[in-house]
Amino acid sequence: MRPVVWVPREIHADAVADLETWADVRRGWGVGAATEDVVAPVAEGVLLRTARLDAPQLKRMPRLRVVARHGVGTDTVDTAYARERGIRVTTTPEANVLSVAEHAVALLMAVRRGIGAAATGTASRDDLIGGELSGSTLGLIGFGRIARRVARIGQGGFGMRVLAHDPGLSDDEVRAGGAQPLPLDVLLSEADAVSVHVPLVPTTRGLLGAEQFRRMPSHAIVINTSRGGVVDEYALAEALDAGEVGGAGLDVSEIEPMPDDHPLRGRANVVVTPHIGGQTREAMRRVAMEAAAALRSELAS
Ligand SMILES: O=C(O)[C@H](O)COP(=O)(O)O
């Protein structure tokens, strides 16, 4: 019998086709969409986009053997409970690196040049005097795959000086990735823009808050393409009000989509995008194919 694989949200069609060659695929969208009630008891695999899968949901899935994350973050999955149950949680660590890195740079350029405000069509040309990225200093918090790619673009494209802080890496490892290693406080005080590239775990929740914003130069820009909880959004709004930081580009927020009445909405110096860093045709295909391959290697006999 083919294992039942549940795909609750739409993914790249090539990956669905691949899954259908060996699994009984129950899709959560379109005609004949499976409902959770019907699929949960029989699913052996789930291909999960960003959505919560906590212990209560996992408990409803007694046959589950693999959660294949579509992407790299596992913060929405109760991994401790999954481990207890022997459920494997896989990710696609390489597949959306290029797209997320490019999006971080796009946000940085958009904020630095006031493109968000300009694109509304109501801002006056005289008020839209931006700054150059060329020769400026970029501070990267977390120096994994995505941050390294951002470093390469910043250095190669704009001749930026790149600083990085990553407590999980030695100074030599950071240097080998093309950045100058620095303690967080020093990085914050020297960077014209700070871009966050860490997973959301207890030690990174609220990593950038009131104290960190106060250390930054008043023109500095905060970029977040990782997870909303890493940046304290209310402290960021207050820091922007107080002129302690110059702007922000945010692809992620604590609540997604970011509510319309959120204090970071409607600001000329803040560009908000709805978690689209990994959403390019290229990355969506790579991510879905890799997640499907992870399911296959665990479930196909
Ligand atoms: O975790 C990730 O890599 C991204 O946030 C993308 O996740 P999604 O494609 O599952 O929404």
Amino acid at residue number 251 = D
d(CA 181, CA 167): 10
Mean pLDDT of 9-15: 97
Which atom belonging to ligand 1 lies closest to the Cα atom of 287?
Answer: 9
Span 170-209, pLDDT tens digits: 999 999 999 999 999 999 999 999 999 999 999 999 999 9
Q: Which of 275, 286, 290, 296 is catalytic?
A: 275
* Model ipTM over 0.90: yes
Q: How far is the CA of 92 from the centre of ligand 1 (A)?
A: 9
Domain map of the chain by residue range?
Answer: 4-95+281-300, 97-272
CB proximity list for 2: less than 8 A, separation 6 or greater: 22, 23, 24
- List the beta bridge partners of residue 272: 250
- Provide the residue count of the chain: 301
Query: Is 256 marked active-site?
Result: yes
Host H or E run for residue 180: strand 180-181
Span 134-164, pLDDT tens digits: 999 999 999 999 999 999 999 999 999 999 9
Ligand 1 atom 3 nearest Cα: 71
How distant is the alpha carbon of residue 69 from its chain centre? 13
Q: What strand order describes the sheet that includes 88-90?
A: 24-27, 4-7, 45-48, 66-69, 88-90
Which atom belonging to ligand 1 lies closest to the Cα atom of 279?
Answer: 9
DSSP of 28-57: SSSTTPPPHHHHTTT-SEEEE-S--B-HHH
d(CA 242, CA 236): 10
Span 97-272 CATH architecture = 3-Layer(aba) Sandwich (3.40)
* 230-241 CB burial, b ≥16 within 10 A, e <16: bbbbebbbbbbe
Joined tokens for residue 197: 């590239």
For the domain spanning 4-95+281-300, the CATH number is: 3.40.50.720
Strands 88-90 and 180-181: unpaired
**DSSP state, 250?**
E
The answer to whether the 4-95+281-300 and 97-272 domains have the same CATH topology is yes
Q: How far is the CA of 203 from the centre of ligand 1 (A)?
A: 20
Peptide bond into 257 cis (omega under 30): yes
> Do 237 and 261 touch, CB atoms closer than 8 A?
no
Which atom belonging to ligand 1 lies closest to the Cα atom of 49?
Answer: 10
> Do 162 and 138 touch, CB atoms closer than 8 A?
yes
Ligand 1 atom 2 nearest Cα: 71
Amino acid at residue number 38 = V
Span 24-68, pLDDT tens digits: 999 998 888 999 899 999 999 999 999 999 999 999 999 999 999
d(CA 250, CA 186): 23
- Report residue 247: phi and psi, to 5°: 175, 175
In this predicted structure, what is the pLDDT of residue 31? 83
Host H or E run for residue 99: helix 97-112
Ligand 1 atom 4 nearest Cα: 71
User: Does the structure show a pLDDT above 90 at 301?
Assistant: no
Span 266-276, pLDDT tens digits: 999 999 999 99
